[in-house]
C-alpha cells in the first residue's frame, strides 16, 4: 500500500471511530471531500490534536505510520474545515503571505532533489528564528491551514534550503 493510501485509510478510520466529519460527494465525480463542522473542530481541539498552520513553519511530529499521521485541514468559504492531505515531519509549510511573493522561488527551491536521498539528520541544525509546528508526537494531529495558498516543501528541499526559507519567512508578520 502506498504511503498516500495508508494516510487516507488512517484518516477515514479515525473520523469513523470518532464519528466526526461529513463526506460530501462531488457532482459528476467518484471523488468526495471530508468536511468538519465547528462542533467537529471543537472535539479535536478538546483532544489537543489541532495545531495552527496559518503562519507556516517546520513540521515536527511522528512519521506517517500504520496508526496515524499529521493531517491538514483548510477553512472553506462556507465555514467548514476541509481535509486537504497530510504532512511529513521535516517538511516545511510556508506562510500564505510569503507564498504570494515568493511562489516562483519556492518552486525553484523545491525542485531537483532526489526523493530517496538520505541525509544525516544528526548534523541538521534548525535556525533559532525558525517557526516550528510541533505536533508533540501525537498519533493523530491536524494542522489548520490558512485557507489561502501555502507551499509545502519536501524534507529533502528543507535539508538544503531551510536557512533561505527562514530568511524569507522572517520578512513577514502574520496575523491570524
Q: How does pLDDT run across 62-91, given as a tens digit for each residue?
A: 887 788 899 999 999 999 999 999 999 999
The answer to whether position 130 is within a domain reads: yes
The answer to whether position 175 is within a domain reads: no
The answer to whether position 131 is within a domain reads: yes
Measured in residues, the chain has a length of 176
Count of domains for the chain? 1
pTM greater than 0.85 (yes/no): yes
- The parent domain of residue 125 ranges over 3-170
Cα distance between residue 153 and residue 162, in whole Å: 10
**119: pLDDT strictly greater than 90:** no
The answer to whether position 154 is within a domain reads: yes
SS3 of residue 106 by DSSP: helix
The answer to whether position 80 is within a domain reads: yes
The answer to whether position 176 is within a domain reads: no
First vs last C-alpha separation in the chain: 37
The answer to whether position 153 is within a domain reads: yes
The answer to whether position 35 is within a domain reads: yes
Amino acid at each position: 500500500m502506498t504511503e498516500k493510501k495508508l494516510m487516507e485509510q488512517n484518516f477515514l478510520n479515525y473520523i469513523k471511530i470518532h464519528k466526526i466529519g461529513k463526506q460530501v460527494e462531488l457532482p459528476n465525480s467518484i471523488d468526495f471531500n471530508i468536511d468538519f463542522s465547528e462542533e467537529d473542530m471543537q472535539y479535536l481541539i478538546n483532544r489537543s490534536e489541532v495545531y495552527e498552520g496559518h503562519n507556516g513553519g517546520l513540521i515536527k511530529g511522528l512519521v506517517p505510520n500504520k496508526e496515524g499521521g499529521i493531517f491538514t485541514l483548510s477553512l472553506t468559504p462556507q465555514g467548514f474545515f476541509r481535509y486537504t492531505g497530510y504532512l511529513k515531519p521535516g517538511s516545511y509549510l510556508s506562510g500564505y503571505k510569503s507564498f504570494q511573493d515568493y511562489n516562483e522561488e519556492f518552486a525553484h527551491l523545491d525542485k531537483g532533489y532526489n526523493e530517496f536521498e538520505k541525509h544525516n539528520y544528526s548534523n541538521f541544525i534548525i535556525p533559532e528564528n525558525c517557526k516550528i509546528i510541533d505536533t508533540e508526537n501525537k498519533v493523530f494531529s491536524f494542522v489548520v491551514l490558512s485557507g489561502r495558498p501555502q507551499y509545502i516543501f519536501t524534507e529533502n528541499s528543507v535539508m538544503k534550503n531551510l536557512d533561505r526559507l527562514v530568511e524569507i519567512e522572517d520578512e513577514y508578520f502574520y496575523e491570524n
